Structure 1
Amino acid sequence: MSALQAQPLPKILYSCYHSHSREGEQFVPEHILSFQLAGSMTINDGEHEQHFANGDIRLHQRNHLLKFYKQLPPDGGEYKSLSIYLDQATLHKFSNEYGYTVTKTHINKAVIPIRPTQQYKSYLQSLYPYEQIMQQGNEDLLALKVKEALLILLKTNPEVKDILFDFTEPGKIDLEAFMVKNYKFNVSMERFAYLTGRSLATFKRDFEKLFHTTPGRWLQQQRLKEAHHLIKEKGRRPSDVYLEVGFEDLSHFSFAFKKAYGVGPSML
């Protein structure tokens, strides 16, 4: 993997590996235009699952939680992707230069498929070889390439204007609905608070008023309940589910599971 971050942002990130497939989760703090160059990626936002194969393009909306699974090509080749980070500073500058503003409320969707066109193909060719163009000293060129990506995106998908140039922070939302959807994401309380439009203190106060317990205790109960269901009813292995339901390591999961259910997860 190689990356170069201009001073200040934007940045372009090229990922390439061939050892094994990878899975994990992440918080997406900035919009990202991502090109699937080889292999595939499956993305789950807590409600929906989307699959992106070689040649697909997607736009990640900022302020979303995602679980992902990166898979090598069937022939055992390399996994490759290219991500253009559309950070707030870059978008503010672009908005001032070209006069883009939000005109209507947009759909708050974690990942939006973008239809591939010849313009994107030519754009990718202009970046090849990726690792050379991202070397130190090419910051000005990278900034121009990010700007070019933005111009192409807005020309081919003008509806994303209301997504890209919405600079508001998350507003106060339905806490119960958000937590039920996202309890399996292993992120900090501060992150949960931010995404629900609350300070940490307000988040904890609202949470305990709604659920009659602390956020930490509720999260563990929900994750253990889901793990119990997956292991007992679906035949899944503990080593395959502990990360999926939001635990950091297998030993902590096994300890908490045994404490809650009287037996270790491998004994079910």
Structure 2
Amino acid sequence: MNQTVPKPDFPQIVFSCYHSRSREGEQFVGEHVLTYQISGTLVLIDGHKTYISNPGDFRFTKRNNLVKFSKYPPEGGEFKSLSVHIDQETLRKFSLDYEYHIEPHQEKNAVIELPPHKLLKSYMDSLLPYYESDKTPNQQLVALKLREAILVLLQSYPEIKETLFDFSEPGKIDLEGFMNKHFHFNVQLKRFAYLTGRSLATFKRDFEKIFHISPSRWLVQRRLEEAYYLIKEKGKAPSDVYLEIGFEDLSHFSFAFKKAYGVAPSRI
């Protein structure tokens, strides 16, 4: 059975277990996530780079990013990972208590691949018993474990403080460049607007000045162009393409493709 399990009162720490391949599509990462890969393989794509996590790997996924991910269990086994979601409120309180003040900085990659460290491995191992117990930990314990995660990260990887305590929101960036890299993420327009540092109204206005078409129509056209290329030139099957380029289901993709090109994608 495939499952992602947060404890009822322990939602910041999530244990994932999958017996079969799970293609999750895309996700907006709203808070920093520290993850330990226990078994199986995870493939992450952020629009700039592809990251592969194997058993024993640690990664830190930064907030306010779009990622696509696929989970692959080992042959005859289970995909297992443990993730700690470190929210902004916890980090702000921590920064006040320990006087961490960081200037905003830019780093394009959404994922930081962390070298193995015994201290971090020990911390992750300490979380597993909570999923083997029938008892639910209280909020005080949750708060302590989150603070412990921050302390362990700072002890093991001091340079990560620049990312942890950067509380700035996305600034206004190059809209054309961003959309051409991230058009295949199936998220609402308001999310694209936020990530490019704009209100929804300003995003739509700026978009039409650049592309001379509405964002919704451009996204469909751009995704279909990419789909045509992947099917025609790369030999990919429509069933493997539609999620990759941002459509929610195969039937909608096939209908839109036939309307645009006059032929079903399976006939290309």
TM-score (norm 2): 0.94
What is the aligned length?
A: 265
Matched residue, 1:43: 44
CA distance in structure 2 between the aligned counterparts of 1:161 and 1:121, rounded to whole angstroms: 19
1:106 Cα deviation (Å)?
Answer: 4.6
Matched residue, 1:261: 261
Q: Does 1:131 align with 2:134?
A: no
1:172 Cα deviation (Å)?
Answer: 0.5
Unpaired runs of at least 5, structure 1: none
Contact 2:41 2:73 in 1 (8 A): yes
The sequence identity of aligned pairs, in percent, is 58
TM-score (norm 1): 0.94
Contact 1:106 1:162 in 2 (8 A): no
Between 1:44-53 and 1:132-141, the stretch displaced more is 132-141
CA distance in structure 2 between the aligned counterparts of 1:135 and 1:46, rounded to whole angstroms: 40
1:27 Cα deviation (Å)?
Answer: 0.5
CA distance in structure 1 between the aligned counterparts of 2:12 and 2:133, rounded to whole angstroms: 12
Change (3 A) 1:214 1:104: closer
- C-alpha deviations, 1:171-198, integer Å up to 9, x for none? 1000000000000000000000000000
Change (3 A) 1:181 1:99: same
1:132 Cα deviation (Å)?
Answer: 4.0
SS in 2 for 1:69: strand
Contact 2:38 2:82 in 1 (8 A): yes
* One-letter amino acid matched to 1:64: N
CA distance in structure 2 between the aligned counterparts of 1:95 and 1:254, rounded to whole angstroms: 50
Q: Does 1:22 align with 2:42?
A: no
Unpaired runs of at least 5, structure 2: none
Contact 1:10 1:90 in 2 (8 A): no
- C-alpha deviations, 1:51-105, integer Å up to 9, x for none? 11000000000010001111101x3211111111111001001111111110462
* One-letter amino acid matched to 2:40: G
Q: Does 1:2 align with 2:5?
A: yes
CA distance in structure 2 between the aligned counterparts of 1:70 and 1:216, rounded to whole angstroms: 29
* One-letter amino acid matched to 1:200: L
SS in 2 for 1:204: helix
* One-letter amino acid matched to 1:202: T
Matched residue, 1:80: 80
Change (3 A) 1:226 1:121: same
CA distance in structure 1 between the aligned counterparts of 2:185 and 2:60, rounded to whole angstroms: 21
Change (3 A) 1:246 1:65: same
Contact 1:37 1:55 in 2 (8 A): yes
Q: CA RMSD in A?
A: 1.7
Contact 2:42 2:54 in 1 (8 A): yes
Contact 1:26 1:65 in 2 (8 A): yes
SS in 2 for 1:33: strand
CA distance in structure 1 between the aligned counterparts of 2:134 and 2:240, rounded to whole angstroms: 36
SS in 2 for 1:184: coil
* One-letter amino acid matched to 1:36: Q
SS in 1 for 2:35: strand
CA distance in structure 2 between the aligned counterparts of 1:240 and 1:104, rounded to whole angstroms: 39
SS in 2 for 1:26: strand
Matched residue, 1:146: 146
Matched residue, 1:98: 98
CA distance in structure 2 between the aligned counterparts of 1:257 and 1:115, rounded to whole angstroms: 44
1:5 Cα deviation (Å)?
Answer: 5.9
Matched residue, 1:113: 113
Change (3 A) 1:181 1:114: same
CA distance in structure 1 between the aligned counterparts of 2:89 and 2:152, rounded to whole angstroms: 19
